[in-house]
Structure 1
Amino acid sequence: MKKNFLLTGFIAVFSFTAMNAQETTSSQNWPDRTVLPIEPYQKVGKIAPTIKDSDKIDWPKEIGAPEGAPNVLLIMIDDVGFGASSAFGGPIPTPNFDALAANGLKYNRFHTTAVCSPSRAALITGRNHHTAATGIIMEFSTPFPGYNSLVPKSVATIGKILTDNGYGTSWFGKNHNVPDWQSSPAGPFNLWPTGLGFEYFYGFLGADAHQFRPAIMENTKPIDPYLKDGKVDEDYILDKDLADHAIHWIQTQKAVSPKKPFFAYYTPGTAHAPHQAPKEWIAKFKGKFDQGFDKQRIATYENQKRLGIIPADAKLAPTPNDYQKWDKLTPGLKKVAAREMEVYAAMLAYCDYEIGRILETIKDLGEENNTMVIFIMGDNGASAEDPTGYGLTSELGVLANGLVDTEEYMLKHLDEFGGAWQAEHYSQSWAHAMNAPYQWDKKIASHLGGSRTGMVISWPARIKQTGQVRSQFAHITDIVPTILEAANIPAPKSVDGFKQEPMAGTSLVYSFDNANAPETHTTQYFEVIANRAIYKDGWMASTTPKNLPWQGHPVPSEDPVKDYKWELYDLTKDFTQSNNIAAKNPEKLKEMQAAFMAEAAKYKVFPFDDRYIDRVNPENRPNLNKGRNEFVYHEGNSRITEGMAPNMKNTSFTITAEVEVKAGEEGMIVTQGGYFGGLALMLQKGKPTFSYAFSHYPEHKWTIQSPTALTAGKHTILLKFDYAGGGAGKPAKATILVDGNKVAEGDIARTIPSRFSADETLDVGEDFGTPITRDYDAPFFFQGEIEKVTITLPKG
């Protein structure tokens, strides 16, 4: 035994000594930041059976950020055009954005993809949006590689890269990068922010959020922060909540690990519809926009020239004839449109104020000097998704479901604009004015009004030529390379064993010290919904928009390659893309078209698809419910997103609820959607009740209720929804039965054809967010017990 023990000990010492030699060699290459994650390194030395015979060793060395790496605050606002903020000559005061510009650099040729999810995917990955499988917003994804919304593992995010390089990382606000069918509490969570490498997430997953009653996720847990002591906190507003959480997170990072740099991605839902803001902020803008959008656009353009935001010889691009003209509105609708813009301005100005609190926190912590703030004022141009010309009170209701706003209703509820019970969005022509001096808007990737937004970079420790303008071509894919160069971190070649796609963007650090440095991003394609363009060496070739920004259901092209005309611009002489010279330069146009097709083939842009809302049907995407016609839920099953819920649109269905109650108990049994479109089966004062909302208009809400309350005990409540058929959005009859006996029935004149909600979900035993009707309010918990709820759809 003794001989064997000695032999074993000799082998152990020899093995550790050999391993030490290997580790000493490998330490010369540690850390290799091109291969992530990075294993901690430990020089072991001799390890013997006893401590006294072993070498003294240090703890494993864990990866840290490179010496001097800056904190990074990356801010991106939603649906804000180039000409909206005061920093870029617009009418909306953004003093904190302005201060960053004065202490940093303005980029007046910065470009997005022209629509939400694609811009966000490109921003956090540094790759083109199709490479990140996000050629369109998540709800409209299709199976093709550039459009399936499943971000490949070969496309690591800045969150993953910085986390694995020793940063603390976080994400606050809007996501809209989780595949539609993976956004429920059942997961999977690998494409949620925490699955993409961000250590902390506080925000919402969908396209927009109600400012007063948002559906928030903390990491992967649903929460309702607007509730206080079980009731709606009337002082709650999302922009403040996001700032509070960002401030707390940054303070914690620096309190616990002051030498560790932080990366905070701050992307509030402002100023995407619904436009909502504190009343006192809306009041600040009363009468400020009575002159109308046509005059405002001209005033912004002239101010931009005065401030040097655009060249002195830049022209104001013409407004396409399709847009509403101010003088064509009735006096009443002018009041409506002016109020809409007051709300929008208040929303953006208030958001800027809350961002100022974050910046002040960084300053108070002594971190201002070595914090690089990148502030992108708009993930695309301003949104002209208003088909009326005078705005709307529910974007989803009008665009997706066919609601038609009336002047009478809008004037009657004018004082409610910006509040919890309106989901308004401004006129298409206000959007166009906010995109001054360019033409077109969000979704029109072919033109600068859709893609060009204001951007500021501030980094006092590094940027010394402050208050200047930089005019090199810049693209949203340039942001990740800029952050990596600033932090002295290479783009990884491998992440979690997956070879990485190369970055499409180029760092902007070269421009910090030299306003005249030659631009390094010399070629960039654009494509969204078949609107396409290519920038190359100062030239830009663009397709002429075939479908207008506010068309939710455009007629798709039979051949989206041949059906689109092309325009040509020399942007070195034509800053605003206002002089189409295609007819005079046919050979140059052909060259540019060929360049576009080459880029499109390289970056998975094919096939072109100019359908929009017609893609939204959840049956078009992977669905765990496919083939099911019966869905069984239990109390507390909540936040089931529309893509994962039973599709109760344009069809008959039944809801069977098995409950046990005491006399007079009430509460929600099952609900989907909310005040602006949805349905609910509930007990009100013990009475079985079914409510349906086609929209928020009073005449679009129907309630069928039993005349008597349930007796104490167990009951089976059956809701029969008999759809008339004959197309989408048709009438239906609703019947309520209790224990097999009919107790109430009624007609529903109009039903939801396309989408109940962008943010409110299917919930069992509770209702959060907004109620279907004002006859009750959220939260509305079921006071009895729900054994189960079964939703049954027709077979086949």
Structure 2
Amino acid sequence: MKCFNYLFVVALTLFLSEISNAQQPAANQNWPDRTTLPIEPYQKVGKVAPTIKDSDPIEWPKEVSAPEGAPNVLLIMIDDVGFGASSTFGGPIPTPNFDDLAKNGLKYNRFHTTAVCSPSRAALITGRNHHTAATGIIMEFSTPYPGYHSLVPRSVATIGKILTDNGYGTSWFGKNHNVPDWQSTPAGPFNLWPTGLGFEYFYGFLGADAHQFRPALFEGTKPVDPYLKDDKVDADYILDRDLADHAIHWIRTQKNVSPNKPFFAYYTPGTAHAPHQAPKEWIAKFKGKFDQGFDKQRIATYENQKRLGIIPADAKLAPTPKEYQRWDALSPGMKKVAAREMEVYAAMLAYCDNQIGRVIQSIKDLGELDNTMIIFIMGDNGASAEDPTGQGLTSEIGVLVNGVEDTEEYMLKNLDEFGGPWMAEHYSHSWAHAMNTPYQWDKKIASHLGGSRTGMVISWPAKIKQTGQVRSQFTHITDITPTILEAAHIPQPKKVDGFDQVPMAGKSLMYSFDNATAPETHKTQYFEVIANRAFYKDGWMASTTPKNLPWQGHPVPTEDPVKDYKWELYDLTKDFTQSNDIASKNPEKLKEMQKAFMEEAEKYKVFPFDDRYIDRVNPENRPKFNVGRSEYVYYQGSSRITEGMAPNLKNTSFSIKADIEVKAGDDGMIITQGGYFAGFALMLQNGKPTFSYAFSHYPNHKWTIQAATPLAAGKHTIVLNFDYAGGGLGKAAKATILVDGKEAAKGDIARTVPSRFSADETLDVGEDFGTPVTRDYDVPFTFKGKIDKVVVNLKQ
């Protein structure tokens, strides 16, 4: 028996040792292998016996840490800001913190984006071309083709995932716009949210834009409404300050707890995307600064850029296309409106720069600025010219998407409201063009530099010594992730979470840090968005002539987008601003460039070309999650249901049935979708069943139908019948409220929302956040009674 016990102990010891050794890398010198992620901790194991006294000491497992000397990284990207907007690149808007980074770092005057939002953001965080990341268009307009379906493949790991798995602390603040719109509800799935893409912390919003005063935010995957304080709207709240506060807190926490661990903070506020909103005192700083108009501003910026050396002295000012509004064509009243719009835009960008300065100062206060690489991209694309009128607009969703017609009378009457919470304006497309000086065209026009070229600065005091200089090598947004990885001494991974990785298309920019004349390494690059396309190679650029204007939300698709587009040709080594088309003089060179573009397009999944825009959002073009579903059942507290996943209550008849229980005088929201700029609400106001509908923010575009008497205490069934007139999109409807089976109120709605309720406000049950549908109530408008359930039925 003693012999058996001895043999058992020996066998057990050998077994435990085998298990322990099997869990470790074969040899310490092979650890960590940073090309395969994630990296398992390494443990050197000694003797493991059944008792402590017979075992050798064992070292704690060694967890992966960032390579020695790896810098902190602050990656900043602003939204919808053209090359010629900031003071750093010769523009009229003071951005002193961007200026300071440029003085202590390098300005890149040939930096390029994809020319539109989601694609640029996908390219930035993956280092791959946007179609490789399945993001050939913004998330809301995705189509099922490989380059466009918006489901970022696991073969293109993000910089957040790579750095987290290599020992960095990682975070993301502000705008996302990289989650498929049908996955952006609190029900998930969350694998394509920032925390699912490898970022350890996220605080921001998921969609295209956010209200500065009442944004719908998420912390991680949890919905938060930070503008609410003590169950009321905080009048002092503004998003840009909130984002800076959270970034500062996160950075301080990282360094307080783990001072030797580098951080990566991706800071990407929604500024200066519409809605253009800013603090009143900042708007006042710019009063009268833009009364000269956009045509003169474009010339002034161009001259300033030459004086500052931002562009070559012999660079020409690219012509303004004839389709753009001219300042002298505006009425005196509309000149006042347009000037005010630009004052608001300038205030918004200047205030954002101010808040970014607070984040940078917090890094300096920690003593970390010297070894922090700050990459500041001033624009994910060129300035936005998505105003179809040339006079600006008071609601992007209303005018551009739903066909609202702004009036001079209304705009002048509400001039003081511009920049505040009850306006969601966008400036004139000609202001956008002025902000893109010295180039032609704008956001969405990927074929031309006005759409794709923006200002970029890199500062890293520990490594960049030739400060205050300009770098003119061709650079692209895909170059940023490779630059960060080289700076951190981290290789591009070959396998992540078991998935082989597509090689990155971008090239590191570190070669340019100490050599202004170093040959560029990013020698070729294709561009394509909405069938606008271009190809760059060794200083040459071939570009399609735009067939649809930047402000056309519903362009007429061409019959053959391959053959129906004319091409232009530019020699950018002699023509910095892409202003001299030499295609007719170089037909063979143009053919060579066109052929190369088609080869790249096939390689990077650019096909098929598609020049539709908002029309892609139509239900027949979207994932068919709700096919055949006509009934939707919701319960109290269901919220943040995005438009892509909510029942489509546009251009159709429907009914809403709510079973509720109340006390006398109870009020609150039963169900709502959208908000002040377009939406509806079924609620109790002063105990009375009420239905409000907003086609837009205009007072004559709002209708309210209300029962004459309050509900008695007890259980009730409220029914809303919405009978659509038919005959096309956005037509009239009749709304009828029934209380316990009896008609309580009815009324006509003269005009209904044809395309979209909102880019950021959602469908909510039992509560309302963001903006109210009408100003007869305010948020949070929580139902005080009990909602058993709400049933929505679509009527075919």
- TM bucket (normalised to shorter chain) is over 0.9
Determine the structure 1 residue equivalent to 2:220: 219
Q: How does 1:137-216 map to 2 (within 5 A)?
A: 137-216=138-217
Q: Deviations over 1:731-766 (max 9, x none)?
A: 000000001100110000000000000000000000
Instruction: Write the distance in 2 (CA, Å) between the matches of 1:241 and 1:625.
Output: 37
Give the secondary-structure state (helix, strand or coil) at the position aligned to 2:391.
coil
Which residue number corresponds to residue 9 of structure 2? 9
Residue 50 of structure 2 is matched in structure 1 by 49
Once the two structures are TM-superposed, the CA of residue 18 in structure 1 deviates from its matched residue by 5.8
What amino acid maps onto 1:57 in structure 2?
A: I
Is the contact made by 1:110 and 1:452 (CA closer than 8 Å) also made in structure 2? Answer: yes
Partner letter of residue 93 of structure 1?
A: P
Q: Is the 8 A contact 1:623 1:644 kept in 2?
A: no
Paired residue type of 1:747: D
Aligned equivalent of 2:622: 621
Report how far residue 24 of structure 1 moved: 7.4
User: How many angstroms apart in 1 are the aligned matches of 2:192 and 2:349?
Assistant: 29
Task: Name the residue aligned to 1:787.
Answer: 788
Structure 1 position 57, deviation (Å): 1.1
Q: Summarize deviations over 1:248-271 as a string: whole Å, max 9, x none.
A: 000000000000000000000000
Q: Does 1:116 align with 2:117?
A: yes
Aligned partners of 2:337 and 2:411 also within 8 Å: yes
Aligned to 1:73: 74
Which residue identity is paired with 1:302? E
Determine if contact 1:135/1:528 at 8 Å carries over to the other structure: yes
Structure 2 letter corresponding to 1:463:
I
SS in 2 for 1:3: helix
Report the AA paired with residue 611 of structure 1: R
Using the TM superposition, give the Cα deviation of residue 627 of structure 1 relative to its aligned residue in structure 2, in angstroms.
1.7
Question: What's 1:642 paired with?
Answer: 643
The answer (yes or no) to whether the contact 2:655–2:795 under 8 Å persists in 1 is no
1:413 counterpart = 2:414: yes
Q: TM-score, normalised by structure 2?
A: 0.99
Q: What secondary structure, in the 3-state scheme, does the structure 2 residue paired with 1:28 have?
A: helix
Match in the other structure for 1:586: 587
1:789 partner amino acid: V
Paired residues of 1:382 and 1:434 also in contact (CA < 8 A): yes
CA contact (8 A) 1:692 1:703 kept: yes
> Deviation of residue 12 (structure 1)?
3.7
What SS is found at the alignment partner of 1:276? coil
Q: Is the 8 A contact 1:24 1:43 kept in 2?
A: no
Matched, 1:658 2:631: no
Which residue of structure 1 lines up, in the alignment, with residue 691 of structure 2? 690
Task: Give the direction of change, closer, same or farther, for the CA distance of 1:470–1:640 in structure 2 (3 Å limit).
Answer: same
Deviations 1:600-637 (Å, cap 9, x if unpaired)? Answer: 00000000000000011244222432221000000000
Q: Distance in 2 between matches of 1:170 and 1:8?
A: 51
Cα separation, 2, equivalents of 1:250 and 1:124:
20
Secondary structure of the equivalent of 1:207?
coil
How far the C-alpha of 1:9 sits from its partner, in A, is: 2.5
Cα distance in 1, alignment partners of residues 388 and 21 from structure 2: 72
Q: CA deviation at 1:14?
A: 3.5
Structure 2 Cα separation of the partners of residues 103 and 421 of structure 1 = 40
Deviations 1:104-159 (CA, angstroms, capped at 9, x unpaired): 00000000000000000000000000000000000000000000000000010000
What SS is found at the alignment partner of 2:726?
coil
Q: Give the match for residue 346 of structure 1.
A: 347
1:220-251 Cα shifts (integer Å, max 9, x gaps) = 00010000000000000000000000000000
| Cα deviation code 1:662-698 (max 9, x no counterpart) | 1111000000000000000000001100000000000
| 2:383 matches 1:382 | yes
Matches of 2:686 and 2:359 in 1, distance apart? 46
Q: Which runs of structure 2 are paired with 1:397-412 in the superposition (5 Å)?
A: 397-412=398-413
Offset at residue 16 of structure 1 (A): 5.5
Structure 1 residue 26 displacement after superposition:
2.3
Report if aligned partners of 2:174, 2:204 keep a CA contact under 8 Å in 1: yes
**What's the CA shift for 1:775?**
0.4
Q: Distance in 1 between matches of 2:660 and 2:25?
A: 68
Contact 1:20 1:46 (8 Å CA) reproduced: no
Equivalent residue letter for 1:633:
Y
Q: What does residue 449 of structure 2 align with?
A: 448
| In 1, Cα distance between equivalents of 2:8 and 2:152 | 50
Matched with 1:278 is 279
CA–CA separation in structure 2 for the residues paired with 1:367 and 1:16: 45
* Letter of the 1:108 counterpart: N
Partner of 1:550: 551
Cα shift at 1:519? 0.2
CA RMSD across the alignment: 1.0
Partner residue of 1:495?
A: 496
> What is the letter of the counterpart of residue 583 of structure 2?
A
CA distance in 2, matches of 1:2, 1:312: 95
Partner of residue 472, structure 1: 473
Partner of 2:293: 292
Task: Return the letter of the residue paired with 2:316.
Answer: K
Structure 2 counterparts to residues 452-531 of structure 1, below 5 A: 452-531=453-532
Indicate the residue corresponding to 1:251 in structure 2.
Answer: 252
What secondary structure, in the 3-state scheme, does the structure 2 residue paired with 1:154 have? coil
Whether the 8 Å CA contact 1:20–1:45 is kept in 2: the answer is no
Does the Cα contact within 8 Å between 2:126 and 2:159 map onto a contact in 1? yes
Partners of 1:185 and 1:601 in 2: how far apart? 37
CA distance in 2, matches of 1:51, 1:89: 71
Deviates most, 619-628 or 756-765: 619-628
Corresponding residue number in structure 1 for 2:769: 768
8 Å CA contact retained: 1:20, 1:43: no
Residue-by-residue CA offset, 1:390-429 (whole Å, 9 max, x unaligned): 1000011111100010000000000000000000000000
- CA distance, structure 1, for counterparts of residue 363 and residue 639 of structure 2: 37
Instruction: Say whether 1:430 aligns with 2:431.
Output: yes
Conserved? CA contact 1:378–1:453, under 8 Å: yes
What amino acid sits opposite 1:754 in the alignment? Answer: S
What is the TM-score of this pair, normalised by structure 1? 0.99
Q: C-alpha separation between the residues in 2 aligned to 1:767 and 1:18?
A: 60
Question: How many residues align structurally?
Answer: 795
Question: Using the alignment, how far apart are the partners of 2:96 and 2:628 within structure 1?
Answer: 54
SS at match of 1:583: helix
- Are the aligned partners of 2:25 and 2:31 in contact in 1 as well (CA < 8 Å)? no
CA distance in 1, matches of 2:675, 2:306: 46
Structure 2, unpaired ranges of 5+: none
What amino acid does structure 1 have at the position aligned with 2:119? P
User: Secondary structure in 1 aligned to 2:218?
Assistant: strand
* Shift, 1:17, TM fit: 5.5
Shift of 1:53: 1.0
Alignment partners' CA distance in 1, 2:21 and 2:697: 73
* Distance in 1 (alpha carbons) for counterparts of 2:238 and 2:416: 18
CA 1:25/1:667 → structure 2, altered by over 3 Å: closer, same or farther?
Answer: closer
Assess if the C-alpha contact under 8 Å between 2:25 and 2:42 holds in 1: no
Distance 1:25 1:447 in 2: 53
Pairwise CA distance, 1:782: 0.5
* Alignment match, 2:41: 40
TM-fit CA distance, 1:15: 4.6
Q: C-alpha separation between the residues in 2 aligned to 1:326 and 1:5?
A: 97
Counterpart position of 1:601: 602
1:571 aligns with 2:608: no
Distance 2:694 2:719 in 1: 19
Q: 1:668 matched to which residue of 2?
A: 669
> Structure 1 residue 7: deviation in Å?
2.0
- More moved, 7-16 vs 369-378: 7-16
Contact kept? 2:21, 2:45, Cα under 8 Å: no
Q: CA deviation at 1:20?
A: 7.4
Distance across 1 between alignment mates of 2:441 and 2:652: 38
Query: Identity of counterpart residues, as a percentage?
Result: 83
Distance 1:726 1:218 in 2: 43
SS of the residue 1:655 aligns to: strand
Q: Which moved more, 1:65-74 or 1:622-631?
A: 622-631
Distance 1:322 1:752 in 2: 28
> Conserved in 2, the CA contact under 8 Å of 1:167 and 1:261?
yes
Cα distance in structure 2, aligned partners of 1:528 and 1:58: 54
Give the letter for the 2:3 counterpart: K
